[in-house]
Each structure stands twice: as C-alpha cells, then as structure tokens.
Structure 1
Amino acid sequence: MPWGRISGSLNTPKVEVAIDMGNPFLNRTVDGFLKIGVVGASKVAAEETYHCIKGGNVSKAKVKDALGKMCKEGFYWGTVAGVYVGMEYGMERIRGRRDWKNAMLGGAMTGALISAASNNARDKVIVDAISGAAVATAAEFLNYIT
C-alpha cells in the first residue's frame, strides 16, 4: 500500500529584547509585561483591521479608537503577565525549588490579586484564584509534553 510523508520545518524570526533593571525579579516581570502586552495589542489590531475591512471604510476616528483599544488591552494583559511572572519567580525564590507548584501558587496569587483589584466579591476572588492556579498549572504541564 502506498504511503507518503511530509517533512519540513518552519523557522520564524526571533526577536530578543533584554531590559536590565538590575534585579532578576524586575527583569522577568518587565519581560512578561512587554511580551504579553504586545500580544494583547496585536490581537486588538487584528480584530479592528477585520472590522474596518468588513465595513469597507477607514477613518481617522476609527484608527484613533483602535489605537486606544490596543493600548488598553495591551496594558491589561501585560499587567496580568507581569504579575504572574513576578509571583512565579517569587515562589521559586521563597521555596528554593523550580517546579510546577510555583506556577500553581503564582497563578492563584495572580488570579486573586487581579480579581481583588477589580473590586470583585470575595467568592469571585476565590474562584479567580482557583482558575488562575488551574490555568498556570496546566500551562506548566503542557511545557513538558514533547
């Protein structure tokens, strides 16, 4: 029976930006903020571009509105990522180990902090802490799948 095989590789350009704040905790926090902030802003840029193309018109007001949304979304997700990376690194330093438990604890603390900063009720803060822990732990385990 005939069979076929496709093989290939995709190499993407890699951009590394190093910002030295003089402290490993701050370095990682700022790095997380910048990387995920750009992702959040890019998401909004793609959505707004789609809406402009679908609507068939681009105006100065729409571009200005899109830039505002990009900044807001980028800042929000950058902040969440920065807090998470900082919390995970803090857990690593406090515990003296590098394992999945740091991700779980960092995710729980991040979920609780972001939720509490949003003036949510106590039950919502607890649910967000559990959700943050679950997502961070799952992401950590997915890193080990080959």
Structure 2
Amino acid sequence: MPMKSLSGGSFSSPKVDVVIDTGNPFLNLTVDGFLKIGTVAAGKVLAEETYQCLKKGSVSKHNFEHSFKKMCKEGAYWGSVAGVYVGMEYGMERIRGTRDWKNAMLGGALTGAIVSAATNSSRDKVVMDAIAGGAIATAAEFLNYVT
C-alpha cells in the first residue's frame, strides 16, 4: 500500500511494497528487484509514448500496440538487469559474510559483465560494462548514505 509522510518540513517519496515469498531469500530479492525496476521502466515508456501521441495529436490501435510492446520489452529488460544485480549483491553478501559497499561494487561489476556478455561478443566491451556497472552500483550505494 502506498504510504507518504510529511515530517520536519520534508516530503518523503511513497513506498510500495509487494511481497512474493518463494521460500528462498535469494529468489525473493531477485523477483522483488525485477518487479520494481521493471514497473519503473514500463512507466517511463508509458510517459514517453503518451507524450509522443499528444505531440502527434492522434492515437491509433497501431500506436497503442506498439507502445504496449515497447513497455513490455523495456520492463522485462530493465527488470531482468535489476534482478541479476540484486541477486549478485545478495550473493556477494552471503559469500563475504558482511554487508557493505563492496557488495554493491562487486554485484554491479558482475551484473555489467553478465548483461554485456549476453548481448556483446567484444571482450573489451564486457570489461568496460563491468567497470561501469560496478561504478554505478557503488555510487548508488554511497548516495543512500547522503540523506
């Protein structure tokens, strides 16, 4: 259920929690990451496609079908990437036995490498994507501690 709070003059973002219990913490986190980020990606496409329809001034069945397919494709892609990342980060936590920023870095690097290797054949591109994934995940982890 969405919840909003206003305290101390600041507004916090709504929180939506969907619980799917597979009986395995690794799978629970992976599915949760897939659903949350996949939904965000689909919403992004919905907003973009709505803007394009308004800009053109017309809506057709073809436009609707194209938009729906694009929403599904983007949602599945970004949801899959998020699911892999969350699973990798959780795996790093379990392997290392500690919870810190290094798990995010290693999980991001592995995710970048896996996703890149699945879509590219260039070794240099896989390495660059691993570096980018690790950097982005580490930055996101550090940003969690800013507020």
Interval containing the TM-score (normalised by the shorter chain): over 0.9
Distance 1:132 1:54 in 2: 35
User: Which ranges in structure 2 are unaligned for 5 or more consecutive residues?
Assistant: 1-7
Tell me by how many angstroms 1:13 deviates.
Answer: 4.3
Q: In the alignment, which residue of structure 2 is the partner of 1:99?
A: 100
1:84 counterpart letter in structure 2: Y
Distance 2:127 2:136 in 1: 14
2:95 counterpart letter in structure 1: I
Aligned length: 140
The yes-or-no answer on 1:31 pairing with 2:32 is yes
User: Which ranges in structure 1 are unaligned for 5 or more consecutive residues?
Assistant: 1-6
Q: In the alignment, which residue of structure 2 is the partner of 1:122?
A: 123
2:103 is paired with a residue whose SS is helix
Q: In the alignment, which residue of structure 1 is the partner of 2:21?
A: 20
Question: In terms of mean alpha carbon deviation, does 14-23 or 100-109 score higher?
Answer: 14-23
- Deviation above 6 Å: which 4+ runs of structure 1? none
1:70 counterpart letter in structure 2: M
Q: In the alignment, which residue of structure 2 is the partner of 1:3?
A: none
Tell me by how many angstroms 1:11 deviates.
Answer: 5.3
Instruction: State how 1:41-52 maps to structure 2 within 5 Å.
Output: 41-52=42-53
Of the two structures, which has the highest relative contact order with CA contacts closer than 8 Å and spacing of 6 or more? 1
Distance 2:13 2:36 in 1: 16
Question: In terms of mean alpha carbon deviation, does 47-56 or 12-21 score higher?
Answer: 12-21
Q: In the alignment, which residue of structure 1 is the partner of 2:5?
A: none
Tell me by how many angstroms 1:15 deviates.
Answer: 2.4
2:136 counterpart letter in structure 1: V
Q: In the alignment, which residue of structure 2 is the partner of 1:8?
A: 9
CA deviations over 1:72-128 (Å, ceiling 9, x no partner)? 000000000000000000000000000000000000000000000003300000000
Distance 2:121 2:44 in 1: 26
Q: TM-score, normalised by structure 1?
A: 0.92
1:123 counterpart letter in structure 2: D
The yes-or-no answer on 1:71 pairing with 2:48 is no
Q: In the alignment, which residue of structure 2 is the partner of 1:80?
A: 81
Q: In the alignment, which residue of structure 2 is the partner of 1:134?
A: 135
Q: TM-score, normalised by structure 2?
A: 0.92
1:103 counterpart letter in structure 2: A
